[in-house]
């Protein structure tokens, strides 16, 4: 498997041709908000971005559904603490109330199955994994899938394309990898909620150890716009002392966004880690919070 030619390949857009551009604008906004001592006005933030206030407002309203001023509140470093106070979800409550179903705005009617432990131990031997790059609402996304469903999804905005490719490929060292974005495109359209998606379901094929699968299944119970903690996940899978192991399993989630590992926070309100970069995690949480309110 080689990676040197990735930058020159065509990318398949999943919905809005400007979606990757919108993410880059938002990523720059995160830096500006972090550097500012006070809340930036629409005019000031737009000026820093080199845009007119009207254009800047139009981009954000189209991308996330709320004004830049309101969205800025979701990008602050204290947003995670606010989520824990206002939208903390115990996994038991999420399950019994049905929040893991219709209450998840980006649920996308996922169906999933897990590889057997024996298949996992083979490291992907005999398995063909198709891959492609797609422009997503959160920047360039690498998506991988088998005949059964999406098995890998990562973001390159912070870590770079070569790193993202290497990271996902090394998880299945004995698999055969075939570039075929058009094969994956219908699933990706459904996964990101594109308006022109023809499918109602984005199938997932989870490739992981049994403990990891348990953690990922727990993550799937967290509704969009809500968060939980690593310790809550440990409790929910019947192993309350395994908080550190849960954190490791969360970090090993191969299907970011769809298995919402970004919704797991520390008890203190800290963001914790995120495999694809903390700015992306903040963007995901802000995006979902804004859409819930909108």
C-alpha distances out from residue 184 to 17, 139, 144, 257, Å: 18, 18, 8, 16
**Catalytic option among 150, 215, 219, 261:** 261
CA dist 280 and 27 (Å) reads: 8
**Under a CB-based contact definition with an 8 Å cutoff, are residues 133 and 9 in contact?**
yes
36 contact partners, CB below 8 Å, separation of at least 6:
none
Is residue 260 within 8 A of residue 222, CB to CB? The reply is yes
Instruction: Tell me the C-alpha distance between 291 and 109, whole Å.
Output: 18
If one counts every other C-beta atom within 10 angstroms of the C-beta of residue 272, the result is 20
Going by their DSSP bridges, the two strands 128-136 and 139-145 should be labelled as antiparallel
Q: Active-site residue 261, yes or no?
A: yes
Distance CA 168, CA 252 (A): 10
d(CA 178, CA 147): 12
Q: Where in the sequence numbering do the catalytic residues fall?
A: 261
């Amino acid at each position: 498997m080689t990676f040197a030619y990735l930058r020159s390949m065509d990318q398949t857009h999943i919905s809005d041709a400007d979606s990757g551009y919108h993410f880059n604008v938002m990523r720059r906004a995160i830096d500006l908000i972090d550097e500012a001592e006070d809340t930036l006005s629409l005019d000031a933030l737009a000026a820093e971005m080199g845009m007119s206030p009207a254009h800047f407002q139009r981009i954000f309203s189209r991308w996330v559904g709320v004004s830049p001023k309101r969205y800025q509140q979701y990008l602050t470093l204290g947003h995670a603490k606010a989520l824990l106070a206002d939208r903390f979800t115990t996994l038991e409550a999420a399950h019994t109330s049905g929040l893991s179903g219709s209450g998840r705005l980006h649920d996308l009617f996922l169906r999933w199955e897990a590889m057997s432990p024996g298949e996992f131990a083979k490291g992907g031997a005999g398995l063909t994994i198709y891959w492609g790059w797609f422009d997503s609402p959160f920047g360039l996304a690498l998506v991988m899938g088998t005949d059964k469903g999406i098995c890998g999804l990562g973001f390159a905005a912070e870590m770079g394309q070569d790193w993202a490719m290497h990271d996902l490929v090394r998880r299945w060292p004995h698999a055969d990898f075939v570039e075929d974005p058009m094969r994956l495109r219908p699933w990706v359209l459904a996964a990101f909620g594109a308006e022109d998606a023809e499918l109602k379901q984005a199938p997932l094929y989870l490739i992981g150890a049994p403990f990891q699968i348990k953690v990922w299944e727990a993550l799937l119970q967290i509704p969009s716009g809500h968060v939980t903690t690593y310790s809550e996940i440990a409790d929910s899978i019947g192993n309350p002392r395994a908080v550190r192991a849960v954190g490791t399993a969360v970090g090993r989630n191969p299907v970011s966004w769809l298995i919402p590992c970004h919704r797991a926070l520390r008890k203190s309100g800290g963001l914790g880690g995120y495999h694809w970069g903390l700015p992306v995690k903040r963007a995901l949480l802000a995006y979902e919070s804004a859409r819930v309110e909108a």
